[in-house]
Amino acid sequence: MTESLSPRTDLALPALGYGAANLGNLFRELTDEAAQEVLEAAWDAGIRYFDTAPHYGLGWSERRLGEFLRTKPRDEYVVSTKVGRLLVPNPGGENELDLDNDFFVPAVVKRAWDFTADGIRRSLDESLERMGLDRIDLAYMHDPDRSPAPEDALDAGTQALDGLKREGAVRASGVGSMDTAILARGASSGGLDALMVAGRLTLLEQPALADVVPAADRTGTGIVTASVFNSGLLARNDPGENARYEYGRAPAEVLDKATRIAGVCRAHGVPLPAAALQYTRRIGPVRAVVAGSSRPAQIRQNAEWMDLDIPQDLWAELAADGLIPR
């Protein structure tokens, strides 16, 4: 553990966390046994921060994560989940899969936006029941920018989470999103402890530097970066022509930049994914990086890359070539 997420909480996070979306059968099916093998690999690699959400596989991720964490000492790990999407009955959904959201699970329930105080309390209670845990350390509002009234959702959710934090129901509160405007608003409020910045603060692109990071600096709000491989583009040493970006095929200009970054990494003997994992930790308010995988070997590799010694000359050359900000 390092410094607290913000001056408003005593919660600190390890540098590397496991993002548990894959446990919800994201993109492909996992058996319960395979899911437990993934989590054992993460634990054996020293990972002690686990992030999940009701959205991930319509509760499957939370259920599987909880089944694993119940076998571990509660004070040895940190767990976060998300609020804002309740899971409600979906009659007839047992004959369908949740493929519109890329999860290979039966659609027996569906998502319903709710950032009210009652909705957030209910969401946390249901998450605790699915996981079988006695407490959640950190609760993020999940993608309020995608809800019908984004700013109202963020403001109401911030107040609701503050109330729950004062009650001791959670130790810290935050918002997770790919939308920099919502993230900056959340940071500027001074009412949150953490921002989960997904894909907007990476080795490849840094739009969050314009407004999110300065707002977080001003209010002492911690940042957790996610999707640091930009949907897989930076997950291999040599980005290929068919590399994925934003869950689709990478545009030519994006692929070109990734290829140039890879070349600099190669010249310094550093794996591109290692640089991608470590880059954001160099930015002031960033407290942790969350990375997910459904493959135990990849999880072990991520942990090794996070500990790899990267020469300062690599960052200096990337900046001199205009590939990252100075």
What amino acid positions are annotated as catalytic residues?
Answer: 56
User: In 118-215, which ranges are E strands?
Assistant: 138-142, 172-177, 194-198
Report d(CA 186, CA 95) in Å as an integer.
Answer: 39
Please give the backbone phi and psi of residue 182, each rounded to the nearest 5 degrees, phi first. Answer: -65, -40
Q: Which residues, listed in sequence order, are joined to residue 222 by a DSSP beta bridge?
A: 194
Q: 137, 171 in Cβ contact below 8 A?
A: yes
Cα atoms in the Cβ-side hemisphere of radius 13 Å centred on 290: 25
Rounded CA-CA distance 187/199 in Å is 17
Question: What 8-state DSSP symbol labels residue 205?
Answer: -
Q: Coil, strand, or helix at residue 271?
A: coil
Who contacts 81 (Cβ-Cβ below 8 Å, separation ≥6)? Answer: 51, 52, 53, 54, 62, 124, 127, 131, 136, 139, 140
Find the DSSP H helices in 45-104: 60-69
Amino acid at 311: P
Question: What is the rounded distance in angstroms from the CA atom of residue 86 to the CA atom of residue 93?
Answer: 16
Measured CA distances, 294 to 25, 131, 226 (Å): 9, 19, 16
Tokens linked to 39: 């989590």
| β partners of residue 141 | 83, 175
How many other C-beta atoms lie within 10 A of the C-beta of residue 101? 16
